[in-house]
Amino acid sequence: MNLKDILSQFKGASDEDELQKMFRELAPAFLYGGYIQVRDDYEVYIRTVEFYFHSEKVDGVHDPIVYHRNGRDLDNVPYFPLMTLHAHASGFDIAFESEAGEYRASALIRAYEVKTRDGRFLIIWDKEKGKFVSSSNYGFNTQSTYLYALLNGFALGNGTDVRWMDSPRQQSLTVTEKKRQNVYQYDTDGNKVKCERLWSFTREERL
């Protein structure tokens, strides 16, 4: 199945252990199932994906760091259509929310490889300038916010300039689970603590 079909079957859960299992099963579709095509110029492959899930129900699983939810900036925030590419302060999400299920779900592109039309890699080498340089050597990027330079401005017009392309690759499924970066929660005493959810998944193989 393609990524859209896989995400359409996601129904959410009211239990963190069940969500962990669901995200573990979803991760290979993002890491091995295709790439984001940017016109005919770039292919963006996801190397690390972080999942975010926030139920709008009182008794559901809550993830306050989620940007696109009720009560953070606005009330009654409309739900994104499936596979919406959502730009925000931390980078880009691929959203799979559900109004019927009353939850927000998304996959943040945390680390990625970028290939040019001629098969070279675009690598960020200067953090101050934030410029991509072309190299024949393999390289990947961990600065999720730098995707603005590649994706913003292209997603105009008929919506086909930036799109997900299903292209399953041979996979050994060497995927590492870990905590999400810079994600915090509050304990029962109101203290800020690191989130312990293992909702980050990294593909160890190179392209």
Extended strands (E) in the chain? 34-38, 42-55, 85-88, 91-95, 103-116, 121-126, 131-135, 162-166, 175-178, 184-186, 192-194, 200-203
Mean pLDDT to the nearest integer, 121-150? 83
pTM (2 d.p.): 0.89
What CATH code is carried by the domain that includes residue 180?
3.10.300
Burial class of residue 65, CB neighbours in 10 A (0-12, 13-18, 19+): middle
Q: How confident is the model over 29-56, as pLDDT tens digits? A: 999 999 999 988 899 999 999 999 999 9
Let me know: does 11 contact 56? Beta carbons within 8 Å.
no
**Number of domains, the chain:** 1
Let me know: does 174 contact 18? Beta carbons within 8 Å.
no
Domain of 147 in residue numbering reads as 3-203
Cβ contacts of 195 within 8 Å, gap of 6 or more = 65, 179, 180, 183, 184, 185
Mean pLDDT to the nearest integer, 91-108? 94
